[in-house]
Amino acid sequence: MRRRTFLAGTAAGGLVAAGAAPAFALDRRRVLHVRPGDSVQAAVDAVDGDGWTIVVHPGTYREVVNVPADKGELTLRGGGHDPRDVVIVFDNANGTQKPDGSGTYGTAGSATFTSAAPGLTVRDLTLANDWLRADHPEITGTQAVAAYVTGDRSRFSRVRLLAHQDTLFVDTSALDAFDRQYFTHCYIEGDVDFVFGRATAVFTDCHFHTLQRDVAFTPKGMVFAPSTARANPYGILAVRSRITSGAEDAAYKLARPWVPSYETTAWPSLVVRDTRIGPGIDPVAPYTNMRDAYPWQSMRFHEYRNTGPGSVITVPENRPQLTAAEAALHTPATYLGGWEPVRSL
C-alpha cells in the first residue's frame, strides 16, 4: 500500500489542513487541546512561556509543525490509545520548490516536524513525511525528513517516525553544542541514512525498520549516519533495540559516517549494543563509506553483545567490538550526563 493512502487511513479523525482556524480548547492547567478541524501549529503558536502541554486528539493532521526555541519544556502528546491514532504528516522534500519561489527547502527544511525547544517531550503519536520518489522523478534532492530535532533534553516516547530517506535528523542547536536527545519505545522506518545527525542521541527499546526499495543495486540503504562533532565523546547510542527489514537479506548496511561539508572536522560516533539485528543487515560488511575521503574504519563505530543473524561476526575487522570495560562507558546514563528522562540502563 502506498504511504500516502496508508497514512490517510490510519487515524480515526478527519483530515486537517494547515492554517485551519485555531478552535482548540484551553484549560487552566496550561493545556491546549487540538481536535480535527484545528491546527497543531496554531496551538504551538498560542503557547506563551514554558511548561505547556498540547494534547492532539485522534486524527490525521496534514501540516508542517515548527516548535521554536522559546517554547521550552513543551509536551506534545497524542490523545489516542495508540500512536497510530494521531498522525502529523506532510510531503516536502529537499528538492521541493518553496511556494514563494525563493528556492528549495533543503534537507532540514523538508521536515514535517521541527523543534529547537529545550526540554521538549513528544509522545504517543506519529510523525511522517509521505513524499515519494516515484511521484517526483524530476526531483534529485530526495531527502524528506519526518522530524528535525535540535535543543537539549528532547525526549520522544512511543512515537512512530515514518519516511524514506533521512527520516529522523538528530541535530544540535550549534556546531559546538552537545544537545542530548532520548528516544524510548519508538518505531523508526526508512531506507537511506534514516537516523542521522550530530546530536548525542540515545535510543532504548526502539524498533528500526528498513523498507523494501525498488532498486537493482545494494546496499539499498543504511540505518544510521552519525556526524558527531570531534569534541563530543558521545554520538548515537542504540541499546536493547531491534532492527528488522522489509527487504531481502543483507540488502542494508548498519551505518555509514557523515562528515558534512560545513563541518569537515566531524568524527562520527555510533554504538549499537544489546540489540537484535535481523537478516536485512549485511553481517559480513555492515559498514560502508559515504565518501572515500572519510573511511568508516577511522570513525568511532562499535558494537557490543548484539544478537540475530545480522550481528554474526564473520570478518572481525569489519565489526569493531567494545570490551566490557569500554561498554561500561557507553550507557544511556553516561551519554545523557545527569539528565534522567527515565531510569538509566
User: Which residues are catalytically annotated?
Assistant: 166, 193
Alpha helices in the chain (DSSP H): 3-8, 40-46, 106-109, 324-327, 332-336
φ, ψ at 67 (rounded to 5°): -105, 110
φ, ψ at 4 (rounded to 5°): -65, -40
Number of residues written out for the chain: 345
Buried b (16+ CB within 10 A) or exposed e, 161-188: bbbbbbbbbbbbbeeebbbbbbbbbbbb
E strands, 198-286, in order: 200-204, 207-210, 221-226, 236-239, 242-245, 252-255, 269-273, 276-277
Look at phi and psi of residue 337 and say left if phi exceeds 0, alpha if psi is from -120 to 50, else beta: left
- DSSP assignments along 305-331, one per residue: S-BSGGG--SSGGGS-B--HHHHTTSS
φ, ψ at 331 (rounded to 5°): -130, 160
Q: Which amino acid is at 292?
A: D
Alpha helices in 176-286 (DSSP H): none
| Whether the Cβ atoms of residue 98 and residue 145 lie closer than 8 Å to each other | no
C-alpha grid cell for residue 296?
Answer: 568508516
